[in-house]
Amino acid sequence: MFSTALYIVVVGLVLLLGLLLGYFARQILANQQLRRTQNEAKRLLEEASVANEDMLRRAREEANKVRAAAEADSRERRFELQRLERRFAQKEEKLEHKLEALERRERGLGNREREIEAVKAQIEEIRAKQLQRLELISGISSDEAKQELLRSIEEEIREEASRRVREWESRIKGEIDDKAREILATTIQRCATDVVSETTVSVVPLPSDEMKGRLIGREGRNIRALEQATGVDLIIDDTPEAVTISSFDPIRREITRVALNNLILDGRIHPARIEEVVEKAKNEVETAVRNEGERAMREVGVVGLHPELIRLIGKLKFRSSYGQNVLTHSLEVAHFGGMLAAEIGADVALAKKAGLLHDIGKAVGHEVEGPHASIGADLVKQWDKSTEVAQAVAEHHGEATTTSALGFIVATADAISGSRLGARRESLEQYLKRIEALESVANSFPGVEKAFAIQAGREVRILVRPEQVDDLGAMRLARDIVKKIEDTLAYPGQIKVTVMRETRAVDYAK
């Protein structure tokens, strides 16, 4: 028991002693560490002091260098400013010298101007005296002399201009005429078509005169039903075995002709049957119209037209102009246009299309108001969407200003087809009116003595009074007459205007 307590006491003392020894050992270590830290801090402070002194020394050296450079730059700038000031002073001195020289020169020029003005005044005085003397000698004033000189110069210029114009026109006209004749002759020779004449009546043959009574019907009910259904006039007269259909609408005449033939073949003629047959005839004619339009397209090689345009082309089969079938005329113009285009290097396909469609406005007749060229152009714009073809159609009669090559081609082809021999016919009354109109246009100009329309109105020859119209005036007169004919008259082809001036000198030997 005692020993255990003693053991505990001893252990406690040992532990206390260990703790005290550990404490003192830590204090010793801490003091050593503190001294080392103090020594290190002192060393660092010494190094920092040395470094600061070195940095301050370098900073002072750098500042001295910058100051020295700034002072050198300042000195250089002062030198440059002084040099510029000296240059400006020298230039200013030179400018002052130049201004003084200019002022002296200006004063000299002013003196010269005054001297010149004085000399001019003397010259004008001398000139006025000379003019007075010349006027006294010549007997005319200076204004009259000027006018005489101007008239003389103007006469010389007019004579020279007239001579040059005649030479140029003769040379150019010869070349153009030769080339045009070659192209037109080649084109016309390559195309040969039949001439078809149309009238405003159609004649339907009958198997016998007994059929006339059946067509008339009881109290004329059959003929009235037929006329009402077709819109034409039936003429049943003493002509043996024939009935005449009269109408200005060729489509109606054709429908009536087909219906009459079908009724005659069928033999059943009464109002109800007439209406049925007329309706079938309208369908047959409409089919024939489309077939004719397609045939015309195939003949000229035009493809891709709108069905409405094809139908209108087919309707031209039943229309005529000056006795010439319009569809035949359109086919001719298409062929001629393609040949002309080939000769001059233009688009052949477009020329054929424009030629085929150029009279398409005639297919609508009185349904639309206006000239057929503008109507046709509107139809082409609506259904074909080709601006070039529409422009050519609008221009082919001169109602619109011809500006495109295609318009000139179609107009030329149209003139060739319409003016060739036998293509068209006109009444004697129309012919005489056209001749009188040509002669009256020529006689309306001053200086014209007589005018004669010859060669069926293809040429007008004018005799002028030589004392009123000179050579240059004759050329101007021919152009003026041509312009008035083009503006006021309608005619196929072209008209040649020839102005003739004759001067006779007569004397007698005694």
Note the pLDDT of residue 140: 64
Neighbours of 160 (CB within 10 A): 10
Write the CB contacts of 344 (distance below 8 Å, at least 6 apart in sequence): 183, 405, 409
With cut-offs at 50, 70 and 90, classify the pLDDT of residue 421. very low
Distances (CA, A) of 393 to 25, 286, 303, 373, 408: 129, 25, 18, 6, 10
- Choice between 424 and 404, residue whose per-residue pLDDT is larger: 404
Rounded to whole angstroms, the Cα distance separating 173 from 307 reads 45
Res 104 pLDDT > 50:
yes
* Residue 156, φ and ψ in degrees, nearest 5: -65, -45
> Quick check: helix, strand or coil at residue 446?
coil
Note the pLDDT of residue 34: 81
428-501 CATH choice from 1.10.3720.10, 3.30.70.1350, 1.10.1740.10, 3.20.20.80: 3.30.70.1350
With cut-offs at 50, 70 and 90, classify the pLDDT of residue 180. low
> Quick check: helix, strand or coil at residue 480?
helix
Mean pLDDT across 434-438: 85
Mean pLDDT across 23-45: 81
Rounded to whole angstroms, the Cα distance separating 448 from 395 reads 33
Residue pLDDT, tens place only, 284-298: 888 888 898 889 888
Note the pLDDT of residue 445: 92
Place of tokens 């259909």: 245
Per-residue tokens: 213: 């009574």
Q: What angle do CA 115, 117, 118 make, to 5 degrees?
A: 65
Mean pLDDT across 34-43: 81
Note the pLDDT of residue 187: 55
Res 137 pLDDT > 60:
yes
With cut-offs at 50, 70 and 90, classify the pLDDT of residue 367. low
Residue pLDDT, tens place only, 110-131: 888 888 888 888 888 888 887 7
* Residue 466, φ and ψ in degrees, nearest 5: -65, -25
Residue pLDDT, tens place only, 480-493: 999 998 888 877 65
Note the pLDDT of residue 22: 79
Mean per-residue pLDDT over the chain, rounded: 79
Res 509 pLDDT > 50:
yes
> Quick check: helix, strand or coil at residue 201?
strand
Write the CB contacts of 376 (distance below 8 Å, at least 6 apart in sequence): 357, 358, 359, 360, 361, 362, 393, 394
Q: What angle do CA 166, 172, 176 make, to 5 degrees?
A: 140
Write the CB contacts of 328 (distance below 8 Å, at least 6 apart in sequence): 193, 194, 195, 196
With cut-offs at 50, 70 and 90, classify the pLDDT of residue 422. very low
Note the pLDDT of residue 192: 46
CB 314 within 8 A of CB 292: yes
Mean pLDDT across 348-358: 87
Residue pLDDT, tens place only, 267-278: 788 888 888 888
Host H or E run for residue 500? strand 496-501
Q: Bridge partners of 324?
A: 321
Fold of 201-419: Hypothetical protein af1432 (1.10.3210)
Write the CB contacts of 322 (distance below 8 Å, at least 6 apart in sequence): 418, 424, 425, 426, 492
What is the SS3 string spanning 132-188? HHHHHHHCCCHHHHHHHHHHHHHHHHHHHHHHHHHHHHHHHHHHHHHHHHHHHHHHH
CB 339 within 8 A of CB 187: yes
Res 17 pLDDT > 70:
yes
In this predicted structure, which of 154-163, 363-372, 441-450 has the lowest mean pLDDT?
A: 363-372
Rounded to whole angstroms, the Cα distance separating 237 from 79 reads 132
Structural domain boundaries in the chain: 7-65, 141-190, 201-419, 428-501
CB 312 within 8 A of CB 363: yes
Rounded to whole angstroms, the Cα distance separating 229 from 247 reads 13
Note the pLDDT of residue 462: 92
Note the pLDDT of residue 26: 81
Res 441 pLDDT > 80:
yes
Rounded to whole angstroms, the Cα distance separating 79 from 204 reads 126
- pTM score, whole prediction: 0.48
Res 333 pLDDT > 70:
yes
Highest mean predicted confidence (pLDDT) among 117-126, 162-171, 217-226, 398-407: 117-126
Note the pLDDT of residue 448: 92
